[in-house]
Structure 1
């Protein structure tokens, strides 16, 4: 966005996030075309991109959910109104039977009439219960749909990992726990020579590589850890209750597993060159800002890349390098 001089607004971030995620081919093609023709990303162009490719998705979800809830509440109101009316009718009918009993009407006829009213009331109650059960199921469907929408809003569409929104929330909670003395570490991972790989084999293969590395990352961290896509070809994992040494061991397992991966071009069966990653590892320091924490990990990552790539560097080595410099 900085390179294209795109204003850092929430709407613009939404557009460019989806562009980098690669989830919308039309959006990617539109932006690539604008870049190829040196078109400026002015306010009008940015607004058009948002309204064309992002807003319809958001609006469609909101509108559909709102319409379904409105219909559901209308049906529930109708059922309740019917139930109240039926209750009044039943009470009136039973009251009339009681009055007839006082007037000396044949008891057998009164019993038959009362049984008839009770049977009608039971039928109405069964029908009402079935209607409410159906609407309850519809409400469950709406709730599940909203839950899935929330999950999608917190998930990177390309890799299936947590996105920046989910990452930021997780980090804030983990930081609060770490302030009480629990260790908290982060490892930041970057694919070596990824741009060259993309240029040589295309974005489709590049996306396949990202998904593969995301899968390895997800498998090698613990259940309580959060693997996420940090941006572009950078992935991150937040490791609560893990010190620097333990996190460095995890990072090394990830590095080795990725180095052993083999990628095959589906269309031709061609085995592509091996891929590798560089990883930086840092541990949270009580009282520091999360941005400083991540920045230290990022510097460790770039020390790994500068030191030959395909390696893990912790903040300890970063400090040693700084002292030596």
Structure 2
């Protein structure tokens, strides 16, 4: 930590303890890449590492789930203790029947006693099995609750797409793979004249437009890609293993599909003017930050807006425009 000039704070100690413990491969890879590219461990970088790889996501759901798990484990221990005690009692009873057999007790009596013990054992086993089935169902409910809680924490409530937290995590992992040679591209999408649209038809209709844009974006990207809400009316998609040409092709499909959408005002049934989008596309360059990648994507988007909107512009066109003065 001293060599990298990292302040000795509790969160930073937690990061580097996990790094040297070697128990978190994603964290180790991320730090190794930062060191290899001489990236400074500034306040933002340290905070991002902590929030992405170390910080527990504590919420009311997590606390409640912990309490439910404690109760469930207590019940399971009681069931097991009961099963062990019942099994011990059954073995003693059968042993007593066997001793009576050696003593010459009437076989009919022994058979009756043995049948009685077996019936009691079967009853206990059925009751125990029913109890475990009930606790298994409770465990399934807890697992489902945790999954839904995690999904909500990573989802934008308006569009249903990934939120910034999920986007940042995905980008960091995609960046790690890109440093090893896999292409990585990003497209940034913005609704044309969205403010005017909101002013004319109201924010409710504006939200309807954003949800429609999000739906089209989610349908047109590939399963391995991450569509997300970047902020305001801007949507973004991260495309691992896609070069600039592949990303541009997907962006064009998105632009055309949105242009063909028909939006109807729910309150009146009025068909609204067609919506168009401008899209900027950029490909990751080894050694840069993800912020640099998105910034170049944003410059391409800005050029698309300035060039008449309803178009896709790549970082190459930005470079040519800047070179031309």
Same fold (TM over 0.5): yes
Mapped partners of 2:206, 2:187: distance in 1: 22
Tell me if structure 1 keeps the 8 A contact 2:62–2:146.
no
The aligned counterpart of 1:75 is 75
Q: Secondary structure at the match of 2:186?
A: strand
Alignment partner of 1:88 is 2:79: no
Structure 1: give runs of 5+ residues left out of the alignment: 1-56
Mapped partners of 2:312, 2:62: distance in 1: 45
The aligned counterpart of 2:101 is 101
Deviation at 1:178, TM superposition (A): 1.5
Please say which of residues 221-230 and 66-75 is displaced more in the overlay: 66-75
Deviation at 1:104, TM superposition (A): 2.0
Q: TM-score, normalised by structure 1?
A: 0.79
Q: Secondary structure at the match of 2:157?
A: coil
Mapped partners of 1:276, 1:309: distance in 2: 8
Mapped partners of 1:189, 1:82: distance in 2: 62
Please say which of residues 207-216 and 137-146 is displaced more in the overlay: 137-146
Deviation at 1:273, TM superposition (A): 2.0
The aligned counterpart of 1:34 is none
The aligned counterpart of 2:247 is 247
The aligned counterpart of 2:281 is 281
After TM superposition, where is structure 1 displaced by more than 4 Å over at least 4 residues in a row?
none
Q: CA RMSD in A?
A: 1.6
The aligned counterpart of 1:38 is none
Structure 2: give runs of 5+ residues left out of the alignment: 1-57
For 1:152-231, list aligned pairs within 5 A: 152-231=152-231
Q: TM-score, normalised by structure 2?
A: 0.79
Deviation at 1:63, TM superposition (A): 4.4
Deviation at 1:68, TM superposition (A): 2.6
Q: Secondary structure at the match of 1:92?
A: helix
The aligned counterpart of 2:27 is none
Deviation at 1:233, TM superposition (A): 0.6
Deviation at 1:58, TM superposition (A): 3.8
Mapped partners of 2:253, 2:112: distance in 1: 81
Deviation at 1:83, TM superposition (A): 1.1
Q: Secondary structure at the match of 1:270?
A: coil
Mapped partners of 1:205, 1:147: distance in 2: 31
Mapped partners of 2:253, 2:103: distance in 1: 92
Mapped partners of 2:266, 2:130: distance in 1: 52
For 1:260-299, list aligned pairs within 5 A: 260-299=260-299
Q: Secondary structure at the match of 1:280?
A: strand
